[in-house]
Amino acid sequence: MKKVFVTRKILPDGIELLRNKGFEVLVSSKDEPLTPAELMEKAKNVDAIICTMADSINKEFLEKNTHLKIITNYAVGTNNTDMETAAKLGIKIGNTPDVLTEATAEIAFGLMIAAARNFRSAMQTAERGEWKHFEPLGHLGHALLGKKLGVIGYGRIGQRLGEMAHGAFKMEVRGYKRGDDMNEFLKDLDVLSIHVPLTPETKHIVGIKEIAAMKKTAIIVNTARGDVIDQDALYEALKSGAIFSAGLDVTTPEPLVPTHPLYNLPNVIILPHIGSATYEARRAMSILSAENIINAFLID
């Protein structure tokens, strides 16, 4: 009987599917990611792994676990995995594209509205008992109707966000294409949303220079990976008012410690990486992870 280890508790649909197909499935009992040593130990006696982006599937791990047929990531992003080494060693790598497109685009859309309309500072005012009167000049934000949305990473999620923004707010949507002049692309955007995978090429794709090219009223949304933005440059720009606000579902590092200065800014909304966190998406991710494993064994 082939054994599968799941590094975190997940919605059970995929686990049931695997068991129905005759796999033995072991699920980590910890409510937090395993340490690298624990993961190494667990991997020894199994044939396949379902992991999350918190598990580092690095060269050392792969070289010590060449018996694994497949490691499938409970995420679309695979930046936690040394893909090159896995390919060299013949270990298949899976992920969960498509099924989380809607959920992640929804979070980007939500962050765009929340950042444009000052949800964070407005909520803080209410929660701190500072809501005394109707404020004719308080919490003024920017309307989205007819504004320009630029998307870096115009793939599945970026395009779906574009459809939502165009459908709801008639926003003019532009996708950045490799080779386009970045400053030209950024200079008159009202909202920038980033959806590229994290690779050496996309690390800090938005940095000091790019932020400086944007309008003072611009909003930046990031639901991709923290490192696609130079977070220090973003912090400075938000603090100085060089851009209006930001909505982040991802940070560097994750989790972002509560003492991090970004939390002190009223114009940034930070979510704890919940892009795919709908029942629908996570159920589908569970099933797709199982299917990745089933197919990996079928193909051989």
Catalytic site includes residue 273: yes
Per CB under 6 A, which region of 25-33, 71-79, 112-120, 138-146 contacts ligand DGY? 71-79
What one-letter code names the amino acid at 58?
Answer: N
Shortest CB 137 distance to ligand DGY, Å:
38
Residue bearing tokens 């994290």: 198
Residues 29-68 as x/- pattern, contact with ligand DGY by CB under 6 A: ----------------------------------------
Handedness of CA 6, 285, 114, 80 (dihedral sign): positive
Q: Which of 49, 50, 62, 75 forms a contact with ligand DGY (CB under 6 A)?
A: 75
Q: Which of 63, 84, 236, 254 is catalytic?
A: 254
Q: Which of 77, 150, 158, 247 forms a contact with ligand DGY (CB under 6 A)?
A: 77
Tell which residue, 252, 297, 296, 290, has the closest CA to residue 99: 290
Shortest CB 281 distance to ligand DGY, Å:
8
Structure tokens at 5: 């280890």
Q: Which of 228, 243, 275, 290 forms a contact with ligand DGY (CB under 6 A)?
A: 275
Total residues contacting ligand DGY by CB under 6 A comes to 6
Closest to ligand DGY by CB, 144 vs 196, is: 196
Which residues ranging from 163 to 222 are in contact with ligand DGY (CB under 6 A)? Answer: none
Q: Which of 195, 273, 282, 291 is catalytic?
A: 273
Residue pair 121/267 in contact (Cβ under 8 Å)? The answer is yes
DSSP of 152-202: ES-SHHHHHHHHHHHHHH--EEEEE-TTS-HHHHHTT-SEEEE-PPP-TTT
Q: How would you classify residue 89: left for phi > 0, otherwise alpha for psi between -120 and 50, otherwise beta?
A: alpha
Give dist(CA 136, CA 139) in Å, integer: 9
Catalytic site includes residue 204: no
Q: Which of 120, 195, 225, 282 is catalytic?
A: 225
Catalytic site includes residue 128: no
DSSP 298: H
- In the complex, the residues that contact ligand DGY under the rule CB under 6 A are 75-77, 100, 275-276
